[in-house]
């Protein structure tokens, strides 16, 4: 998988397929393989670019603070290096914050926006939940960390499959590019400082909002807030899905995303 020097950072990314470009942005501490299976389904029709945000995976892991805006600029400059003038931007959790900034500051780059399990600002409860991640990452071994945080990331329905849970944890702890605790500290702090409520209604880019009914990290009112303020948005709420709704109900997510993008592209042709 290639990397490119962006803003002084070696930014690792993966691209596959041909056609209209889709850009996938991951959540706090998460690598580009968040989207691996989804990309395998979509790259038969689209050009798919997934990115290791600075701090994770095979990208450089700076220890000095950086912001959501910095990560948005990383994405924008990478697209320019890849000669991509515009793309459909898809962000999960923290990736959704990055996507909002791109759509607000560089609307010409966004063919559409898809916000998955994300927020407009961090409320008091969400602040405590996210702030626990660097503490847990620092104090727990990887197995215990992934076990404890699974309760935050997945729905009750998903967690009832204990065989799947243990296989997922085993796969996670054996990954060669585990996220360091200081990345969680930096990225969580960047999220705590984020608040798009004053400018959300200035975004006119077509937007698909995806949420999980059993997401305890991004409560339902956050998705409603996004829907009510984004002028050209459509919201789907996935039953029996938590914060990882994109993979917990992957079939529905891929189907709805494909329909949304195809609709946008058809409208552009008319």
Per the CB < 8 A criterion, the answer to whether 94 and 191 are in contact is yes
Per the CB < 8 A criterion, the answer to whether 54 and 9 are in contact is yes
Q: For residue 123, with 0-12 CB atoms within 10 Å meaning exposed, 13-18 middle and 19 or more buried, which class applies?
A: middle
pLDDT of 50 strictly over 80: yes
Distance in angstroms (rounded) separating the CA atoms of residues 165 and 26: 21
pLDDT of 268 strictly over 90: no
pLDDT of 1 strictly over 70: no
> What average pLDDT does the chain have?
96
pLDDT of 46 strictly over 80: yes
Q: Is 93 left (phi over 0), alpha (psi -120 to 50) or beta?
A: left
Residue 221: CB atoms within 10 A of its CB come to 12
What percent of the chain has pLDDT above 90? 98
The pTM is what? 0.97
Locate the domains of the chain by residue range.
3-269
Distance in angstroms (rounded) separating the CA atoms of residues 221 and 235: 12
Long-range contacts of 97-101 (CB under 8 A, 24+ apart): 97/68, 97/191, 97/194, 97/196, 98/25, 98/53, 98/68, 98/71, 98/72, 99/25, 100/196, 100/200, 100/203, 101/68, 101/69, 101/72, 101/196
pLDDT of 236 strictly over 70: yes
Q: For residue 256, with 0-12 CB atoms within 10 Å meaning exposed, 13-18 middle and 19 or more buried, which class applies?
A: middle
pLDDT of 189 strictly over 90: yes
Checking DSSP bridges between strand 110-116 and strand 47-51, what pairing results, if any? Answer: unpaired
Residue 251: CB atoms within 10 A of its CB come to 8
What percent of the chain has pLDDT above 70? 99
Residue 104: CB atoms within 10 A of its CB come to 17
Give the pLDDT of residue 197. Answer: 98
What architecture is the 3-269 domain classified under in CATH? Answer: 3-Layer(aba) Sandwich (3.40)
Q: What would the pLDDT profile of 51-110 be if each residue is shown by its tens digit?
A: 999 999 999 999 999 999 999 999 999 999 999 999 999 999 999 999 999 999 999 999
């Amino acid at each position: 998988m290639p990397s490119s020097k962006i803003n002084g950072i070696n930014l690792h990314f993966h691209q596959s397929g041909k056609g209209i470009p889709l850009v996938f942005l991951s959540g706090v501490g998460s690598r580009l393989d968040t989207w691996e299976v989804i990309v395998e389904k979509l790259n038969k029709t689209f050009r798919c670019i997934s990115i290791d945000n600075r701090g994770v995976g095979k990208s450089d892991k700076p220890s000095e603070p950086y912001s959501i805006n910095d990560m948005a600029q990383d994405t924008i400059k990478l697209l320019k290096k890849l000669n991509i003038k515009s793309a459909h931007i898809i962000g999960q959790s923290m990736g959704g914050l990055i996507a909002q900034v791109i759509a607000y500051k560089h609307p010409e780059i966004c063919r559409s926006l898809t916000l998955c399990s994300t927020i407009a600002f961090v409320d008091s409860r969400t602040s405590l939940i996210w702030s626990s991640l660097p503490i847990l990452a620092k104090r727990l071994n990887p197995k215990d960390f992934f076990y404890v945080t699974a309760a935050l990331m997945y729905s009750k329905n998903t967690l009832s499959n204990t065989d799947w849970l243990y296989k997922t944890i085993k796969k996670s702890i054996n990954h060669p590019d585990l996220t360091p605790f200081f990345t969680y500290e930096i990225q969580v702090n960047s999220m705590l400082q984020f608040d798009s409520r004053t400018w959300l209604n200035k975004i006119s880019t077509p937007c698909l909002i995806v949420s999980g009914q059993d997401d305890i990290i991004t409560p339902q009112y956050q998705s409603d807030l996004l829907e009510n303020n984004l002028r050209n948005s459509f919201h789907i709420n996935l039953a029996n899905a938590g914060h990882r709704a994109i993979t917990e109900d992957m079939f529905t997510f891929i189907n709805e995303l494909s329909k949304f993008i195809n609709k946008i592209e058809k409208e552009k042709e008319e």
